[in-house]
Amino acid sequence: MTTPLLSLQGLTKAYPGVVANDAVSFDIQEGEVHALLGENGAGKSTLVKMIYGLVKPDSGTMLWRGTEFAPSEPRQARATGVAMVFQHFSLFDALDVAENVALGMENPPPMRDLAQRIRDVSETYGLPLDPGRTVGDLSAGERQRVEIIRCLLQDPKLLIMDEPTSVLTPQEVEILFQTLRKLKSEGTSILYISHKLEEIRALCDHATILRLGKNVGSCTPATTSARDMAEMMVGSTLQTPTRSAAPDGSTLLKVTNLSAQSGKAFGTALKEISFAVKSGEILGLGGVAGNGQDELLAALSGELLTNADTIQIRGEAVGNLGPSQRRGIGVLAAPEERLGHAAAPNMSLIENALLTGAIRQGLTRNGFVNWRTTKAFAEDIITQFDVRTPGSDRAARALSGGNLQKFVIGREVLQAPDVLVVNQPTWGVDAAAAAAIRQSLMNLAAKGAAIVVISQDLDELMEISDRFGALNEGRLSAIRPTTGLTIEDIGLMMGGAHDMEAPGPVAEEATA
Amino acid sequence: MIRLEKRPQPSRAWSLLTPLVAVIITMFAGGLLFAALGKNPFEAIRVIFYDPLFGEFAFYYRPQLLVKGGPLILIAIGLSLGFRAGIWNIGAEGQYIMGAICGAGAGLAFYPTESVLIFPLMVIAGALGGWAWAMIPAVLKVKFGTNEILVSLMLVYVAEQMLASMSLGLLKNPEGFGFPGSRNLQGYESAFNSELIAGTGMHWGVVAAFIAVILSYVLLNKHILGYNIRLTGEAPRAARFGGVNPTRLILFCLGISGMLAGLAGLFEVSGPAGQISIDFNVGYGFTAIIVAFLGRLHPVGILLAGLLMALTYIGGEIAQGTLSLPAAAIQVFQGMLLFFLLALDVLTNFRIRLAAKGAAA
Amino acid sequence: MDLSTINPVLLIASLMVAATPLLLAAIGELVVEKAGVLNLGVEGMMIIGAICGFAIAVETTNPYAGLLAAMVGGAVLSLLFAFLTQVALANQVASGLALTLFGLGLSALLGQNYVGIKPPAMSKLDLPILSDLPVVGPILFSHDPVLYIGIALTAATWAMLKYTRVGLVLRAVGENHEAAHALGYHVVRVRVLAILFGGACAGLGGAYISLIRVPQWTEGMTAGIGWIALALVVFASWKPWRVLLGAYLFGGINVLQLNLQAAGIAVPVEYLAMSPYIITILVLVIMSTDKSRAPASLGRIFHASQ
């Protein structure tokens, strides 16, 4: 047998209270696409950070083509031939594409040469990109191209991709796969991290499965069923949420020609969005991240004010009302960012219960807070939504992502809203908690609420929503019933492979 | 190698302990400073911290504790509300001056008429003067997004020039033989903020400070407005999501802190200081920033911190006289206190670990 | 009042002198802010620089030794700020204020024996022919060396930020410290170095006041110039050449009001003296509508959690 490109042997890394990786071992061969599969919190990120030199293992060794490999910092890993495309946090909005690329290189050529090399590489791999543009103005797909090109210019031997498709439309995913296959044919190994089983079956040669920090098995994805892989990943059979009644109510929420500027730098403006949601109905809104999701939630929650008439609740104009007034008439929301937006990290769960519960739960009188009833409300959320915490006096930041998300969703659901808007309700949440959250949303709809679920997880939207629409550059596609939608339909609604109509065989193949 | 590890939850014990530890470390460092200046450190520390309370002339110095602590506490309470919400009014010194000018001006306008209404009128004028001065950065921040730190600070220099102009012009004592400075309010009964209980140093300003401590405690712990202030400081986006109106909060916090600083100025000019003069202000507005942090922005903490800081002022004056310790040494001492406090604060939210060399930190 | 006593050539020459401390401090702060750190302690570092420079210049009778000492003094004080904000992760606003309060006290303590002394003079540029030219000579060719250093520093900072790798990394750290960390850059190290540079610049600016502009030592003699320097960085939208422009503008206003005071204009001295501060506020208001240029991580605390 040949020497593997990279061999991991017994890597262990512990953080206070949690063992992120427990004696993980596997090999990545030359020129193979190796999948690292696991749920959120399974330890995938920690593992790749060790390979990339961002985190030092407590014990265990790595061998690079048979010799010891222990990068103390990313620079060293890059020099060896490791490149990484991050899921978040590695681009600089205010800098241009060439500067961003230069920052990821050891010895970047002068800027003018670099711009030319960026153009060359982007042509070779069918990834159109203008080196002079400011990164903050790019779409999510284009931003990913910046990262990929940054890696390719280094001629990596091992390319690590961390959940690369979560920001792409289905058509863009296909183009990405073409690029990766081309790289593989040129002899580059790829470590592909994902929890999406179909992607892994389509792309990867081998898969290693992590669960709770341990290597629980490996398989050849092409010959293993998605169901078997899912069971290895999750460890038990999951309860799939069940959808009961079909909606047949009156219109509760009506949005007409909603246009609004984003409140933040490099945000997306909303453009003429119109839709309506009936009592008992769940409307799913998909789309690649950064296409107006945050802004739409803000406009519906009252954080972003608009003309009164653009948003109507039971025919009543509310677009100019703030968050508190909207809560008063039954419109509640749960934003995507748990820490810092939906909850205050350093405040206790009791205080966080007051954050949105003050009005509907009657937690204040003449402005004075009744801490006793507030505590009771917090504890009610904790019991009913199975939030695992030692007590309601714990700070929000002390909870795991899944538990805090259950708290945040529970806080809104328990207030019996007429209209509920949630953004990424199960992002970064383990499968069991995600299933519970989805079920609670469906139960709420069954009781007659109108629900808008904004999510980048298409499977989730297909599972729970009655109708589907997609956000693309601040516009909303036509809304269609979920039943009967194909993945191609959805991709086209999300904008297809927009701005990818570059000439060349790769693009043609992809759209064929 | 030393590594910081974030605590899952802020440590309550450390948050109470850090001010105490900071005071003790400052005493050590201050002792070194005094030794470097050629003074006996133990004697200096005793003169500063012990003599004013228990020394031979303590009967004279103890009342000073309230006289000096009152304005510090009053200003610091106001500042702490803004600081908690991430609204940085650092121009309390200017608001203090403007409160004094307006309050004294209102009183002097009626000179020599005697009436029980004059003093309350002065209080209102003083509060309004400080409030109005603080509304300048507040309105500019709300309307144009201008940085309140820089504006409120610039206005201190403007207020100091106003003070000079007033002592030399409009409010100058017509019977003062040409010397700068206003009439002395101690000689104008209706306008004089006299000691309420003889020999205690207790005047209306001290009463106001105690009331401010109590009200601010109730506000922060029992009222939704206080909750909103804390929430805004912790997580501004969450506050907006929760329905907090940032504009109103900015106007409220800056307005209150300006008003309290203005009141402090009024009570000072109509009582202990007695008159408007060029060097009327002695930096209470800046020292109050230290008091607010030392008290961990908590009303009771501020009460204690204000008294402690007053003690260093009084002790410093004694040390100036008996040990000829330079006045600036006390200022350095106060500055060090704030340094140590900020440095130790890290223990509230982080744990310090001695670890084997970590990867790229 | 006699406005004819104001000589426009001397006015321009002296506004350049008045602007230099402001320019030095603001360029230093610009670099600090570009790295994502807000150091409100400029005033404190300036006054420490002013006294360190003054004391060493007097003791050694060498003004250049004084300037060097001022830079060291400012940098040492800024190291305290670096420790508080980068190691102990303290709030930057509070730490900057602490630095200023501490610096003002310490400078008064250090300077008590230096009041009323005259420092050694610094030679001025004196080029044959050029310095004697009418108009151009006094404006361009007869200043002290530090003034030229200030202009050179502006150019160097501009070039460094725009064209060099160091500048790119500095901006990257200021824009998004998580990303910079993920790419393997040492966020804390870059920031500490930037803070030290800012401290040295502020110290030099302070010494310029006590050794060249005034020249003598009085307590609190920086009189808010450090704060105006902070405002200047905002005014300049974090661009070096605009800092220079702004510094000359403020220098001009200051020199003009002093000249008007001397000329006996019929406005009370106090109102003229407050004009630079009021104009600073007005400029802040005008500039505050455009926030887009501020480094995105400005003032945020960085802790590499994993």
pLDDT at residue B168 greater than cutoff 80: yes
Confidence class of residue A443 from pLDDT cuts 50, 70 and 90?
Answer: very high
Provide the pLDDT for residue B360: 37
More confident call, C150 vs C290: C150
pLDDT at residue A505 greater than cutoff 60: no
Provide the pLDDT for residue A507: 37
- B residues 165-224 lying closer than 8 A (beta carbon) to C: 165, 168-169
Please indicate if any CB of chain A lies within 8 Å of the CB of C269.
no
What mean pLDDT, rounded, does chain C reach? 87
Neighbours of chain B (3+ CB pairs under 8 A): A, C
Provide the pLDDT for residue C220: 85
Edge to edge, the sheet with strand A59-64 lists A18-28, A6-15, A59-64, A67-68
Find where tokens 């002290």 sit.
C144
Residues C230-261 have pLDDT tens digits of 989 988 888 999 999 999 988 888 888 888 88
Residues C273-292, buried b or exposed e (16+ Cβ, 10 A)? bbbbbbbbbebbbebbeeee
Residue among B230, B290, B246, B264 nearest B131 (CA)? B264
Residues A199-245 have pLDDT tens digits of 888 889 999 988 888 888 888 888 888 778 877 877 765 555 566 55
d(CA B355, CA A360): 49
Please indicate if any CB of chain B lies within 8 Å of the CB of C266.
no
Provide the residue count of chain B. 361
Provide the pLDDT for residue A237: 57
Q: On the CB side of C97, how many CA atoms lie within 13 Å of its CA? A: 25
| Phi (first) and psi of residue A194, to 5 degrees | -165, 165
- What would you report as the CA-atom Rg of chain A, rounded to the nearest whole angstrom? 24
**Structural domains in chain B (count):** 1
Provide the pLDDT for residue A276: 94
Residues A44-68 have pLDDT tens digits of 888 988 999 988 999 999 999 989 9
d(CA B186, CA B188): 6
Provide the pLDDT for residue B163: 92
Provide the pLDDT for residue C214: 84
- The arithmetic mean of pLDDT across residues A462-474, rounded, is 89
- The arithmetic mean of pLDDT across residues A486-507, rounded, is 60
Residues A336-374, buried b or exposed e (16+ Cβ, 10 A)? bbbbbbbbbbbbbbbbbbbbbbbbbbebbeeeebbeebb
Cα dihedral value A157, A160, A161, A162, nearest 10 = 180
Q: What residues have CB less than 8 Å from C5, skipping those under 6 apart?
A: C259, C262, C263
Comparing A183-192, A470-479, B23-32, B168-177, which segment has the lowest mean pLDDT? B168-177
Residues B130-153 have pLDDT tens digits of 999 999 999 999 998 888 988 999
Please indicate if any CB of chain B lies within 8 Å of the CB of C285.
yes
Contact B85, B249 (CB under 8 A): yes
Provide the pLDDT for residue A239: 55
Task: Walk me through the domains of chain C, giving residue ranges and CATH numbers.
Answer: 3-115+124-287 (1.10.3470.10)
Task: Walk me through the domains of chain A, giving residue ranges and CATH numbers.
Answer: 6-234 (3.40.50.300), 251-481 (3.40.50.300)
Residues C110-146 have pLDDT tens digits of 988 888 888 888 777 667 777 777 777 677 777 788 8
Provide the pLDDT for residue A469: 92
| Phi (first) and psi of residue A48, to 5 degrees | -70, -30
Residues A375-415 have pLDDT tens digits of 999 999 999 998 988 889 999 988 888 889 999 999 999 99
Residues B167-205, buried b or exposed e (16+ Cβ, 10 A)? bbeebbbeeeeeebbbbbbbebebbbbebeeeeebbbbb
pLDDT at residue A500 greater than cutoff 50: no
Partners of B335 on chain C (C-beta within 8 Å) are: 98, 101-106
> From the centroid of its chain, how far is CA B338?
13
Percentage of residues in chain A having pLDDT higher than 90: 43
Find where tokens 């808007």 sit.
A421
- Relative orientation angle of helices C92-110 and C42-60, to the nearest 10 degrees: 30
Beta-bridge partners for B279: none
d(CA C214, CA C223): 13
pLDDT at residue C208 greater than cutoff 70: yes
End-to-end CA distance of chain A: 39
- The arithmetic mean of pLDDT across residues C284-299, rounded, is 77
Residue B281 included in any domain? yes
Here the tokens at position B109 are 């306008």
Neighbours of chain A (3+ CB pairs under 8 A): B, C
Comparing A475-484, A488-497, B27-36, which segment has the lowest mean pLDDT? A488-497
Number of H helices, E strands in chain A: 17, 23
Find where tokens 């930041």 sit.
A397
Structural domain for B83, as ranges: 38-325
Provide the pLDDT for residue B89: 93
Residue B342 included in any domain? no
What mean pLDDT, rounded, does chain B reach? 88
CATH at B206: 1.10.3470
Neighbour count for residue C271 (Cβ, 10 Å): 14
Provide the pLDDT for residue A326: 94
Please indicate if any CB of chain A lies within 8 Å of the CB of C297.
no
Residue B172 included in any domain? yes
pLDDT at residue B255 greater than cutoff 80: yes
Residue B332 included in any domain? no
**Dihedral (CA of C295, C296, C298, C303) sign:** negative
CA distance C65 to chain B (A): 24
Mutate to test the interface with A, among B241, B352, B353 (most CBs of A within 10 A): B241
CB contact under 8 A, B360 and A54: yes
Beta-bridge partners for A195: none
Neighbour count for residue A13 (Cβ, 10 Å): 24
A56, A73, A322: residue with CB nearest B243 = A322
Provide the residue count of chain A. 512
Provide the pLDDT for residue A509: 37
Provide the pLDDT for residue A460: 86
What's A137's DSSP letter?
A: G
What mean pLDDT, rounded, does chain A reach? 86
Provide the pLDDT for residue C306: 42
Here the tokens at position B255 are 């307005």
Here the tokens at position A257 are 């020609």
Comparing A304-318, B84-98, C6-20, which segment has the lowest mean pLDDT? C6-20
Residues A342-356 have pLDDT tens digits of 999 989 999 999 999
Alpha-helix residue ranges (DSSP H) falling in chain C: 8-34, 42-60, 63-82, 92-110, 136-140, 145-163, 165-175, 177-182, 187-207, 225-235, 240-263, 269-287
d(CA C233, CA B357): 39
Class of residue A1 by CB neighbours under 10 A (exposed 0-12, middle 13-18, buried 19+): exposed
B145, B335, B344: residue with CB nearest C288 = B145
Confidence class of residue B330 from pLDDT cuts 50, 70 and 90?
Answer: confident
Residue B165 included in any domain? yes
Q: Is pTM beyond 0.90 here? A: no
Please indicate if any CB of chain A lies within 8 Å of the CB of C242.
no
Provide the pLDDT for residue B359: 39
CA distance B229 to chain A (A): 12
d(CA C140, CA C12): 10
Please indicate if any CB of chain C lies within 8 Å of the CB of A227.
no
| Type of residue at A450 | A
Here the tokens at position B226 are 């206080």
Neighbour count for residue B139 (Cβ, 10 Å): 15
How is A352-403 classified by DSSP, letter by letter? HHHHHHTTTTT-EETTEE-HHHHHHHHHHHHHHTT---S-TTSBGGGS-HHH
Contact B125, B105 (CB under 8 A): yes
Please indicate if any CB of chain B lies within 8 Å of the CB of C183.
no
d(CA A69, CA C169): 27
Residue B320 included in any domain? yes
